[in-house]
Amino acid sequence: MTFPPASYGADSPQITYAQAEGYWLAAGGPAVVMAIMAAVAQAESGLRPARVQEGQPYQTTGWGLWQITPGDSVSQVGVDQELLDPLTNAKAAVIKYKVLGLRAWTTFADGSYTRFLERNIAPVLPFPPIGDEMAANFEVVKNDASGAIEAVFVQDANNHLGQYTPGPGGSWTYTDLTFFAKDGEGNPTPALTSA
């Protein structure tokens, strides 16, 4: 696939394939199509969250990683500039996928995504670092009924433990779980001790 010669955000920073997978998961997307959807994002936008297709009528202009268009967008998730936030764009892509399936993306339907398809890439969830390291281990807890993420538990290489919970507008609240007990004077007591 070639991109339109003039596209806003064509020179904007790229994210990695693993980050695209992470945004897909964080938005509640099914893991079974995570690699395919990262490849679709690469085919659609070059993995550039600020990509806006130019030269198309407004209703068919693609915005962000998965090139969500206003004509088939989910306005309660976000429109226009809001879709340039990768997590917001991923949420709109997940809804689009659940309603229309993979064929909603031209790059899937025509097979052009396949040249970008990678397997066995560990996703990188879009959470800030904890302690001195990025999260080395994580577990995503989803709502059984809706499939929405309720919490993500993370542990870094230094055994710092934390929990992220989703908030409004794609924000995340972090709770440090490394120290959860207090001694008689109100000082934190380590949750884990090294042998």
Q: Name the residue with tokens 């130019």.
A: 54
Tens digit of each residue's pLDDT (9 = 90 or more) over 39-72: 999 999 999 999 998 888 888 889 999 999 876 6
**Running DSSP on this structure, what letter comes out for residue 129?**
-
Q: Name the residue with tokens 């206003």.
A: 70
* Residue from 63, 59, 26 nearest 48 by CA: 63
Give me the amino acid identity at 178: T
Complete domains list, the chain, with CATH: 7-116 (1.10.530.10), 135-190 (no CATH)
pLDDT at 155 over 90: no
Output phi, psi for 77, to 5 deg.
Answer: -85, -45
68 φ/ψ sector (left φ>0, alpha ψ -120 to 50, else beta): beta
pTM: 0.64
